[in-house]
Structure 1
Amino acid sequence: MATTLHPMWPPASVEAVCKVLASTEWPGLTGKEIGELLTMLGIPDVSPTANKRDRLVAALITKQQANQAGNCIIRFITEAMAPGRYLQDPSRFEALRDGLSEALALMGLRVNDEGLLARAKAARTLDDLARLAGRLQTELKRRGVHTEIMKYCEEEVLRKSLFHAVFEATKGLAERIRQMAHSTLDGADLVDHCFSTRNPPPVIRINSFATETEISEHKGFANLLKGVFGTFRNPPAHTPRATAGWAISEPDALDLFSTLSFMHRRLDNATVTLSP
């Protein structure tokens, strides 16, 4: 039976797939894994000394050009995503599949539960791509991010604008504290006003504030708030995104959202004492 020849893939789509599969960070394939897969599939490793991404791009595009078909790319993705490879680390399979969802959306494809390429609704614009891939939003939901966070940055998360999502989420935390304390202050001044221990009880306290341990915890929470505002809100407030003077990776953004969720949960059960 003759092998069906699939259309050649645009170079940009090949590069997008390789950027995910050969990522230098987890969950990307190791150099050894890439080499073994290329050998298994009979794809010449034409640039074995290049970095992982360029090595894989060169191998797949060269083979595709030689065959005048995209079969080699489909086979590589399918073999790389075989569920049996991830029995000891299922989260790696899910992370790779989520990463590939964006790279494949413009091709009208997706990786299904069996690790096979399947048809999907094609994205035509960057907004379509964000909605169909939804990787950041999916991961935030999986982590159980606090609803107060999404209230302030849902649009930014949908568009995968990490710069603005982090900025708005952190601003949202400050706004919630202002509303609780009926204050117009901001940043460190807001924290000092709401959580100061100089004149007990503080305007906002996260526990009974009765023992040394509780007072220490309360002070630590106040310091954590100041650290978050100083690190994640103030720099982007003064740095245009286009200058690349301040940037954040997706893993760091996800960890920040988890930290913000912890803070919001503590505020959920906080006690507010307003001055007469």
Structure 2
Amino acid sequence: MPTHPSFSHGHLESLCQVVAATESGLKGTEIGVLLSSLRIDDPEAGITKWKRLFAALDSRQRQDRCGNKVIEFVLEAMRPVRFTSRPEVFEERRAALNHVLVFSGLELGADGQLRNRTAATTLTEAEERAGKLRSELLKRGVHPEVLEFCRAELLQNNHFHAVLEATKSVSDKLRVKTGLPGDAGELAELSLSLGKAGMPFLAFNTLQTDSERSEQKGLKNLMVGFFGTFRNTTAHAPKISWTMNEQDALDLLTMASFLHRRLDGAARTPRVL
């Protein structure tokens, strides 16, 4: 690894506050294990988590006269394999770290690797670079699969393609859960309509009452409208002629999240083609 300059006191403190946040950060035992695995002394194991981590990393970078061990710790703590059952935690922590790392000319990618970037000098620039849209979606608790399909576009604040990829993610889940071909509104109609037998390929409930059957029809219509309003338009219109502002993108991506959550709970029925 090339030698990286030592992190300033403020930058290192902010990094430690993210990684070892009281509620959402690493546990004390996890910090101890990581420090030990990287052969970093853990001099103050009894104090607040982030202060303990700061003391250990600050001491080591002063000893090494570089920030390489700080980088090693961040990379080890943010290895994607550690978050296989909690992808939303990885994305939330990564976004928070990038708000800090951008001031040091670094960015943590979705693969858990650090890349060099032109260092930010203002809070506004850091917000834009870390991905304002992604941060807003994380605040809303958006479904992790929406974030997964939109990662590159969100980091660039590309509303047009973020919307397009979100709609694709809903189609993809319909295909996976039903095994049916098709796409967008046509696939939603095929998958969710009651049909002559009164049984869809994918059911949101037991379909035993009028209310449940109405819910099934309503969710089907919502999904068809979702595709018709955005997927079909954005798929065929050039970006320059399709207006998609930040608020519209946030609302649509939140709708995609709702549809994902309902599909997560839907069940495949015995119906066949």
- TM-score, with length taken from structure 2: 0.52
- Counterpart for residue 260 of structure 2: 264
> Structure 1 residue aligned with 2:242, among 246, 249, 257?
246
Distance 1:130 1:237, change over 3 A: farther
Alignment of 1:205 with 2:203, yes or no, is yes
- Counterpart for residue 235 of structure 1: 233
Give the SS at the match of 1:184: coil
Cα offset, 1:122, TM superposition: 3.1
Task: Flag structure 2 segments of 5+ consecutive residues without an equivalent.
Answer: 1-98, 106-117
Task: Select the structure of larger CA radius of gyration.
Answer: 1
**Between 185-194 and 154-163, the greater mean CA deviation after superposition:** 185-194
Give the SS at the match of 1:259: helix
- Counterpart for residue 97 of structure 1: none
Cα offset, 1:130, TM superposition: 7.3
How many residue pairs align between the two structures? 155
- Counterpart for residue 221 of structure 1: 219
Identical amino acids, percent of aligned pairs: 41
Cα offset, 1:194, TM superposition: 0.6
Give the SS at the match of 2:206: coil
- TM-score, with length taken from structure 1: 0.52
Cα offset, 1:188, TM superposition: 2.2
- Counterpart for residue 155 of structure 1: 152
List per-residue Cα deviations over 1:230-264 (Å, max 9, x = no partner): 111111111121xx221211011111111111111
Whether contact under 8 Å (1:156, 1:162) holds in the other structure is yes
Distance 1:164 1:130, change over 3 A: farther
Cα offset, 1:210, TM superposition: 0.8
Whether contact under 8 Å (1:181, 1:194) holds in the other structure is yes
Runs of 4+ in 1 over 4 A off after TM superposition: 128-131
- Counterpart for residue 141 of structure 1: 138
List per-residue Cα deviations over 1:79-101 (Å, max 9, x = no partner): xxxxxxxxxxxxxxxxxxxxxxx
Rounded Cα–Cα distance in structure 2 between residues aligned with 1:274 and 1:214: 18
Letter in 1 for 2:242: W
Distance 1:275 1:211, change over 3 A: closer
Rounded Cα–Cα distance in structure 1 between residues aligned with 2:225 and 2:180: 20
Rounded Cα–Cα distance in structure 1 between residues aligned with 2:213 and 2:183: 23
Cα offset, 1:160, TM superposition: 0.8
> Structure 2 residue aligned with 1:165, among 162, 165, 176?
162
Distance 1:274 1:168, change over 3 A: farther
Whether contact under 8 Å (2:130, 2:155) holds in the other structure is no
Rounded Cα–Cα distance in structure 2 between residues aligned with 1:133 and 1:203: 41
Whether contact under 8 Å (1:194, 1:202) holds in the other structure is yes
Rounded Cα–Cα distance in structure 2 between residues aligned with 1:170 and 1:123: 33
CA-atom RMSD in angstroms: 2.5
Alignment of 1:273 with 2:269, yes or no, is yes
Rounded Cα–Cα distance in structure 1 between residues aligned with 2:136 and 2:127: 14
Rounded Cα–Cα distance in structure 2 between residues aligned with 1:162 and 1:270: 29
List per-residue Cα deviations over 1:24-72 (Å, max 9, x = no partner): xxxxxxxxxxxxxxxxxxxxxxxxxxxxxxxxxxxxxxxxxxxxxxxxx
Rounded Cα–Cα distance in structure 2 between residues aligned with 1:188 and 1:133: 34
Task: Flag structure 1 segments of 5+ consecutive residues without an equivalent.
Answer: 1-101, 109-120
Give the SS at the match of 2:177: helix
